[in-house]
Amino acid sequence: MFTCEESDKICPPMPGAHTKQLLMRSKAKDKYLLAIVMHDKRVDTRALSKEYKVQSFSFASPENLRRLLGVTPGSVSPFGLLYDKNHEIEVIVDEDAWNIGQFRFHPLTNTATLIVDREAFKTFLKHTGHAFSIRKIPAKNFKMKYPAPEVRGITD
């Protein structure tokens, strides 16, 4: 699977924010962002580049995905931050995803999904030495082709 739309068709309902992770690079190649957003959000990279005062952001190449996160396209995951020993990547989490309290992340391959709560995610980032910020990541306006699947929480 390479897209969230493909996973929606074959995966059973799971708790947690159905997220996608986007590794973006500034045009000057001096800034990398790992943006964690809801799966149906189309990030407005033009608006984001203005917020970061860079000329533009584009998606990282397969070579940079491998070098920085140890993954291939379709498998981007914050767990790949273990490979970012030089801390080249800044992590930003969209507040819509953060507010759900749990995330769905690939474990460095797109054939499985792990559910990670906020506290465990913060602990993981602390161990990798990566700071993160929670923000309203700008979105492009668009109409969804189909409604998002219902998200149900786990009860104790």
Render pLDDT for 81-104 as a digit per residue (tens, 0 to 9): 999 999 999 999 999 999 999 999
When computed from its CA atoms, the radius of gyration of the chain, rounded to whole angstroms, is: 15
Q: Collect all residues with Cβ–Cβ distance below 8 Å to 147 and sequence separation of at least 6.
A: none
Confidence class of residue 3 from pLDDT cuts 50, 70 and 90? Answer: low
Q: Which sequence spans correspond to the domains of the chain? A: 4-135
Confidence class of residue 142 from pLDDT cuts 50, 70 and 90? Answer: low
Percentage of residues of the chain with pLDDT beyond 90: 75
AA identity, residue 123: T
pLDDT reported for residue 65: 96
Confidence class of residue 64 from pLDDT cuts 50, 70 and 90? Answer: very high
- Please state whether the predicted TM-score (pTM) of the whole model is above 0.95: no
Burial bucket for residue 11 (CB in 10 Å: 0-12, 13-18, 19+): middle
Q: Which CATH number fits domain 4-135: 3.40.50.300, 3.90.960.10, 3.40.50.410, 3.30.950.10?
A: 3.90.960.10
